[in-house]
Amino acid sequence: MGAGLVTNAADALALEPTKTQVILKNVRLETGFERDDLEVTRTKTDLFVLVIEDGTIKSIQSNREVSGAVDARGYLMLPATKDMHIHLDKTYYGGEWKARSKRQKSVRDMIALEEKILPGMLNTSTERAEKLIELLQSKGSDFARSHVNIEPASQLNSLKNLQKALERKKEGFAAELVAFPQHGLSRSEGLMKDAAQLEIDFIGGLDPYSIDGSVEKPIDFTVQLALDYNKGIDIHLHESGESGLKTVQYLIKKVNENPILKGKTFLSHCFILGKLEGKQLEDNAQQLAEARIGVISTIPFGKLIMPIPTLYQHGVPVMTGTDSVVDHWNPFGTGSMIQKANLMAQLYGYSSELELSRCLRIATGDVLPLDESGTQQWPKAGDTASFNLVEASCSAEAVARNSSVKALYHKGKCVFKG
């Protein structure tokens, strides 16, 4: 009956909600795995009462009727998901439908397009960002790392408009911001220095060789700016040839020279890793792990398959995100991180109970209800009460079936109910 989960059992004698508490009954939690002589055959679950106070889980108790409690109706409780690569500041979402044009064939073409359209998009960017945040919440995410354009066409206005949206949504959504020189660092150095002094968390970058003509100079500037203002680094790297590999190696070198950047530096996309094989791939994965440089992959599909299993094996932090959602770059994007976990499972052939359950980690920042052996590790009393209630019997089913989110709680507050 999941007795190992139950905390503060003495409180169960006279439990009823107070003004500072939220109590949920009939909450389904994973409690362990069933195995045969070969594999995990089933995920065990049970129903519980969850007591939340001041945004944290105060206790987990045996299920029973509690007057005034919210009925979770047997839905599965899973960690809230995190969209770790998105552009909240430039989207068509919430407005008129518009597919991508075939006129733009390269990143430089897209930059030229942005120079024309961004000033007009700024008129509605705050409201569009709010709508996009609401979409993410409906899919189970209460957190995002958003890249935000810092370039001559919009200057700092895209950042300011997004900050307005985040302020309005702060009771149910949190974010990290990346100052992103979308139109090239050489054209935006002064603006990037200005942005670094505002409320941003990371210094961004874009394909240093193909956009700015050098690997070393843009990386040196980015690293120094991060050091000067105590920020992290998150660089878009689409280059999949020699310059892409040189960028990875040079960034590793700079982070090792400046250990304060370890654990605070990320490569988004990093398609060059999908081109490497054998010892070269293993060596680069090991070097990234030792430098504690993470990879944010949108899990592309097609001819390029990212080596996510190899990165995990070496201990490289791996996360995922939506990237563009219904904008001039991409007409796609559901906003669902559970769908990203599903895509990961399909791409790498993960279809067993244990494998599917492990795939959820890419959507939640490595938080899983059960560890590999089936020991319950989340939720625990004292954890932040940010979670989803999902129409699924277990994590494996939620990943395999893209199960729908019935409710999202952010720090104890229900911010979406489906």
pLDDT, tens digit only, all 418 positions of the chain: 555 677 654 454 456 667 779 999 999 999 999 999 999 999 999 999 999 999 999 999 999 999 999 999 999 999 999 999 999 999 999 988 989 999 998 888 988 998 999 999 999 999 999 999 999 999 999 999 999 999 999 999 999 999 999 999 999 999 999 999 999 999 999 999 999 999 999 999 999 999 999 999 999 999 999 999 999 999 999 999 999 999 999 999 999 999 999 999 999 999 999 999 999 999 999 999 999 999 999 999 888 999 999 999 999 999 999 998 999 998 998 999 999 999 999 999 999 999 999 999 999 999 999 999 999 999 999 999 999 999 999 999 999 999 999 999 999 999 999 9
Domain ranges of the chain: 3-74+369-417, 81-335
Q: What residues have CB less than 8 Å from 268, skipping those under 6 apart? A: 85, 147, 234, 235, 236, 237, 295, 296, 297
Q: What pLDDT is attached to residue 7? A: 64
CA 268 to chain CA centroid, nearest Å: 12
Alpha-carbon span 406 to 403, nearest angstrom: 9
Does residue 111 contact residue 182 with C-beta atoms inside 8 Å?
yes
Q: What pLDDT is attached to residue 15? A: 63
Q: What residues have CB less than 8 Å from 252, skipping those under 6 apart? A: 287, 288, 291, 293
For 81-335, CATH number? 3.20.20.140
Alpha-carbon span 277 to 274, nearest angstrom: 8
Q: What pLDDT is attached to residue 417? A: 97
Q: Tokens 């001819």 appear where?
A: 303
Alpha-carbon span 69 to 51, nearest angstrom: 9
Q: What pLDDT is attached to residue 10? A: 46
H or E stretch including 60?
Answer: strand 56-62
Does residue 133 contact residue 335 with C-beta atoms inside 8 Å?
no
Other beta carbons within 10 angstroms of residue 372's beta carbon come to 11
Does residue 206 contact residue 187 with C-beta atoms inside 8 Å?
no
Q: What pLDDT is attached to residue 13? A: 43
Query: What would be the CATH architecture of the domain defined by 3-74+369-417?
Result: Roll (2.30)
